[in-house]
Amino acid sequence: MKELCVAVSFLVLGWNALGQGTAPEKPVSLQLVQGAVETVLSYPSYSARDERTLNRAGDLAARAVMREVAAAEMRSPEKERLILLVLQMAFEEPQMIEDANNRKATEAMALLDQLRTTAHGGLLAREIENVRNEIRYNASTGKPQEYVTLKGEPPVDWERAQWVGNVMAWADTIKPGMTRKELLRVYTTEGGISTRTWRTYVLKGCPKIKVDVEFAAVGAGTAPGGEDPDDKIVKISKPYLDYFHAD
pLDDT per residue over 191-237, tens digit each?
778 888 999 999 887 788 899 999 999 877 777 778 899 999 999 99
Name the band, by pLDDT with cuts 50, 70 and 90, for residue 179.
very high
Half-sphere exposure of 25 (CA within 13 A, CB side): 19
CA 58 to chain CA centroid, Å, is: 18
Give the lowest-confidence range in 134-138, 139-143, 218-222. 218-222
Q: What is the mean pLDDT of residues 67-82?
A: 84
pLDDT at 24: 56
pLDDT at 156: 67
The answer to whether the beta carbons of residues 78 and 37 sit under 8 Å apart is: no
Q: Of 48 and 123, which is predicted with more confidence?
A: 48
pLDDT at 86: 93
CA 131 to chain CA centroid, Å, is: 14
Is the pLDDT at 155 greater than 50? The verdict is yes
pLDDT at 6: 39
Distance, in Å, from the CA atom of 166 to the CA atom of 41, rounded to the nearest integer, reads: 13
For the ranges 6-20, 124-138, 146-160, the maximum mean pLDDT occurs at 124-138
Q: How many CB atoms lie within 10 A of CB 188?
A: 13
User: What is the share, in percent, of the chain residues with pLDDT greater than 70?
Assistant: 80
Distance, in Å, from the CA atom of 106 to the CA atom of 228, rounded to the nearest integer, reads: 46
Q: Of 3 and 118, which is predicted with more confidence?
A: 118
pLDDT at 19: 40
CA dist list (Å): 138 to 104, 105, 141, 144, 171: 10, 9, 5, 5, 28
> What pLDDT, in 10s, does the model give residues 98-130?
999 999 999 999 999 999 887 655 667 888 998
**Average pLDDT, rounded, for the chain:** 81
- Domain borders along the chain are 2-151+157-165, 176-241
What pTM was estimated for this model as a whole? 0.65
Q: What is the mean pLDDT of residues 128-138?
A: 92
Name the band, by pLDDT with cuts 50, 70 and 90, for residue 54.
very high
pLDDT at 17: 39
Q: What is the mean pLDDT of residues 39-47?
A: 77
